[in-house]
Amino acid sequence: MCLEGMLLAMGNPLLDISAVVGSELLEKYGMKPNDAILAEKKHMPLYSELTANYQVDYTAGGSSQNSVRVAQWILGQPNVCAYMGCVGKDEYSEILAKKARDDGVMVLYQYTTERPTGTCAVLVTANRTQRSLCANLAAAECFTIDHLQNPDVQKLLANADYYYSSSFFLTVSLETILEVAQIALKRDKLFIMNLSAPFLCSIFSSQQMEAFPYVDILFGNDEEAKTFAREQDLGTEDVKEIALKMTTLPKQNPSRPRIVVITQGHLPVILANGRFPFFPVLMGLKERLELTKLLWITRCLNKRLLFVVEGKTTEYPVDLVPADKVVDTNGAGDAFVGGFLGQLIKGESYDKCIKCALWTASQIIQRSGCTFEGKATFS
């Protein structure tokens, strides 16, 4: 079965600079454990301090790029996943492209001469169980929507079945996210997003909510979900309730329910499957939209909505990796998404998608950075 170009992802390609450090370095730069921030002027010395004073590892990074690399590992077939983002015309971008291609990713970078390739400091603390990210986007911030006119990108936009973006990309090109999301809607294909970081759910909440109605599948962790709930006045701190309420927020494509997947560290993963109007299988998108309008009018008049499948949540326990085997939790969330996407592309059930996501994350945390080797053995 040919799966080439089935998924098109977008994001901020970065070279990860990872090191095990003490909590005092976090304090020095005003950073928190298990958080992700964008670099400010005060953070610029951090990168040279890391390379000068610590043993560092370099890996191809950026949240979305990590996820598609892992998805490719699960799929075991090259060029199923394509990735676009902006990089500089420099040595770092050559390294990034080579590493991504070596992992089977179809690389569709936009290049700029204005700024160098972006980097991300990955500070691993608390006996290697926590990681803090500080991203200097640099060239990644130079992405422009006209890259969508690239013939190779156009081909993928017209043929992909899945489109994925992290919320980090909201800080760079909301218009690109919305354009791709609208293409997914018109083609009745899946648009998938990740909450990505608590600060994105607050500082960039307005941009996030512009894209939210297009989201068919949403990923996030418990802290991101709680921040989102506070910003959107969902009225609860209970993660299961938040996930279910997320599925009920306005949605452009009524042909399928919204799926929300929330991780909670060592606690069970929550999958919320939203309620949706029941449609005949052969009914086209136009007819579904018309029926949805009719059902909505019925709800307004009669205070109830007929013919719906109620939303529900399912919990998936996490098999803990022994502490002495945990090397680096950096990339665990990205790997979780990658494992999920790999099975989703294969057409597997959400149950299997979650189980693969958990397995993949458990493998990644036993290595430094979001890295892997050999053939994926999940079955």
Question: Rounded distance, CA 279 to CA 212, Å?
Answer: 23
**Close Cβ partners of 361 (under 8 Å, ≥ 6 residues apart):** 332, 333, 335, 336, 339
Question: Each residue of 73-101: b (16+ CB within 10 Å) or e?
Answer: bbbeeebbbbbbbbbbebebbeebbebbe
Is residue 64 within 8 Å of 107, Cβ to Cβ? Answer: no
Q: Which residue spans within the chain are E strands per DSSP? A: 7-10, 14-20, 36-38, 57-61, 81-84, 86-88, 106-107, 110-112, 118-125, 130-136, 162-166, 190-194, 217-221, 259-264, 267-273, 276-277, 308-309, 312-316
> Do 298 and 305 form a contact (C-beta atoms < 8 A)?
yes
The strand pair at 118-125 and 130-136 is best described as antiparallel
- Distances, alpha carbon 143 to alpha carbons 56, 95, 136, in Å: 28, 19, 14
- Considering just the CA atoms, what is the radius of gyration of the chain in Å? 20
334 assigned to active site: yes
Q: Which residue has the tokens 């400091």?
A: 121
Would you list the DSSP string of 168-182? Answer: GGGGT-HHHHHHHHH
CA proximity to 19, closest of 146, 124, 95, 159: 124
The single residue of 16, 103, 328, 334 carrying the catalytic annotation is: 334
Q: How far is 242 from 248, CA to CA, in rounded Å? A: 10
Q: In 3-state terms, what secondary structure has residue 363? A: helix
Residue 102, both tokens: 């070596």
Neighbours of 121 (CB within 10 A): 27
User: Is 89 within 8 Å of 112 (Cβ atoms)?
Assistant: yes
Quick check: 37 and 3 in contact, CB under 8 A? no
Active site residues: 334
